[in-house]
Amino acid sequence: MRVGIGYDVHKLEAGRKLILGGVQIPYVKGLLGHSDADVLIHAVIDGILGAAGLGDIGTHFPDSEWIYKDIDSTVLLKKTMDLIKGKFSINNIDCIVVAQEPKISPYKDAIARNLSKVLNIGIDRVNIKAKTEEGLGFTGRKEGISAYAIVSLIEKCIDS
């Protein structure tokens, strides 16, 4: 078994959609980024890549490439799964979304279902937690949202 950790952060800004784990969440602001700025999926991607020893999201999907401008991060997650196909399978993912607002708890089940579907794993292998920072830091001041993900991969046996 191999384990990787992922982290991402994006600034909140008016006029953008808020997408977390591939689920649109109603809010007056969304996350600013080159893609759809889905911090949760970006953290999961980094966790997968880290566990597989394949670098990070910026190596595979650089924000200098216009092909990734405004891209749906679930597309990037699927491309990440293609990178590990035949070598690893996901054992489980455990995620934390840190946001003062909006409240994420009402969307945790929808996010878990969506990630389960995109990753093609059982929903019992996806855990989503929502936290605030009690008004502290940039997330506490409602300036942005961050996400963490721990991913465990199982190495597939390859007969020699």
82 marked among binding-site residues: no
61 marked among binding-site residues: yes
CA-CA distances (angstroms) from residue 13 to 7, 22, 26, 30? 20, 18, 13, 5
C-beta neighbour count of 101 within 10 angstroms: 14
35 marked among binding-site residues: yes
65 marked among binding-site residues: yes
141 marked among binding-site residues: yes
C-beta neighbour count of 149 within 10 angstroms: 28
97 marked among binding-site residues: no
2 class by beta-carbon count within 10 Å (0-12 exposed, 13-18 middle, 19+ buried): middle
45 marked among binding-site residues: no
88 marked among binding-site residues: no
57 marked among binding-site residues: yes
10 marked among binding-site residues: yes
132 class by beta-carbon count within 10 Å (0-12 exposed, 13-18 middle, 19+ buried): middle
94 marked among binding-site residues: no
33 marked among binding-site residues: no
Do 40 and 149 form a contact (C-beta atoms < 8 A)? Answer: yes
36 marked among binding-site residues: no
34 marked among binding-site residues: yes
Kindly report the CA angle at 12 between 9 and 13, in degrees rounded to 5? 145
Residues in the annotated binding site:
8-10, 34-35, 42, 56-58, 61-65, 138, 141
Indicate the annotated binding residues for a divalent metal cation. 8, 10, 42
